[in-house]
Structure 1
């Protein structure tokens, strides 16, 4: 069975992030993307443009001293939604992040247009980035 095209979009996105290839990301993220990061911490909020989101990515890299890693566990997709299951590891000062999370996305025309993050341990996630 062939992969749903939205699976390929997310796999390409994840591959770019993992390799640090920021040059290809604009092809995969809509200019007017809306990206929701939960919690009440240094990176939480709604990022409402690609440039705004790239600022968040840079902040994550800086705060984690480049240690942030996201392992892709699986992807489910149809024409309406794409859900990626991941596992994150990072360090922020003396704090350690090691937990599963999900991205719930809308993908149109080969670009991520909206994304909601869902973390399995919200309190620990919040404390990590505080």
Structure 2
């Protein structure tokens, strides 16, 4: 699989909750940069820490948080940028906004993830402190 194929498999697995695929394409040593100033912000290291964080995010959003649209996949060497839209409901806020996920692929696995939101202030309120 090339890097775009890996990125597409990752997004599809996130959208469908396919934990087996996520486990097979995310490096055990992944570095995950969650943006903003909320309870999930900061850098998580390792698949266990990332999995715990993502599970808590689904709890906070009552399972509503999702990537509901993907527009483009663009690669540059080991990096793939994905333009998308994400949505959900939490803390009385209905969230729906464009974002960019940037992933670094090393040895066929996702080694690093950086996320960008178009309205970080709204996303911070959505996730809470």
**TM-score normalised over the length of structure 1:** 0.92
Which runs of no fewer than 5 residues in structure 2 stay unpaired?
Answer: none
Runs of 4+ more than 3 Å apart: none
Which runs of no fewer than 5 residues in structure 1 stay unpaired?
Answer: none
Secondary structure in 1 aligned to 2:96? strand
- From 41, 51, 54, the counterpart of 1:54: 51
Q: Paired residues, what number? A: 127
**TM-score normalised over the length of structure 2:** 0.93
1:42-94: per-residue Cα shift (whole Å, max 9, x none)? 21111100111111110111111011120212110132311011101100031
1:71-86 mapped onto 2 (5 Å cutoff): 71-86=69-84
Matched residue, 1:30: 27
Matched residue, 2:108: 110
**What is the root-mean-square deviation in Å for CA atoms of aligned residues?**
1.2
Does structure 1 residue 99 correspond to structure 2 residue 97?
A: yes
Secondary structure in 2 aligned to 1:96? strand
